[in-house]
């Protein structure tokens, strides 16, 4: 399946704990869309969260966030894994 990085630009600072809670809900919802969230990174100070996702397409990756908690990404980029 293709890999994507999604970027969440939140309106203010975000804690790693808040991101972990949202990610946990993503993991519960992801099977419904054939998606597998692999990892995420948080820039607490700037309110940014980045997720690496294995998904059939960007629409499915977006749908997981929308259904799980409503914090949809501002951008989703297809990526290839480097070595």
Q: Is 35 helix (H, G, I), strand (E, B) or coil?
A: coil
Per-residue confidence in pLDDT tens, the chain, 83 aa = 899 999 999 999 999 999 999 999 999 999 999 999 999 999 999 999 999 999 999 999 999 999 999 999 999 999 998 88
- Domain, as residue range, for 53: 3-79
Please name the residues in contact with 36: beta carbons below 8 A apart, sequence gap of 6 or more: 1, 30, 53, 54, 55
How many residues would you count in the chain? 83
Domain count, the chain: 1
Report the alpha-carbon distance of residue 19 to residue 57 in Å, rounded: 23
pLDDT of res. 83: 82
Using the structure block, give the residue that is written with the tokens 């992801």: 30
The CATH number of residue 38's host domain is: 3.30.70.3090
Sign of the CA dihedral running 3, 58, 1, 28: positive
The pTM of this model reads 0.91
């Amino acid at each position: 399946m293709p890999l994507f990085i999604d970027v969440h630009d939140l309106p203010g600072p975000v804690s790693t704990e808040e991101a972990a809670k949202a990610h946990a809900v993503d993991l519960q919802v992801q099977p419904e869309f054939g998606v597998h969230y692999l990892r995420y990174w948080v820039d607490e100070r700037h309110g940014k969260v980045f997720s690496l996702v294995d998904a059939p397409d960007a629409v499915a990756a977006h749908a997981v966030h929308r259904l799980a908690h409503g914090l949809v990404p501002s951008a989703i980029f297809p990526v290839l894994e480097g070595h």
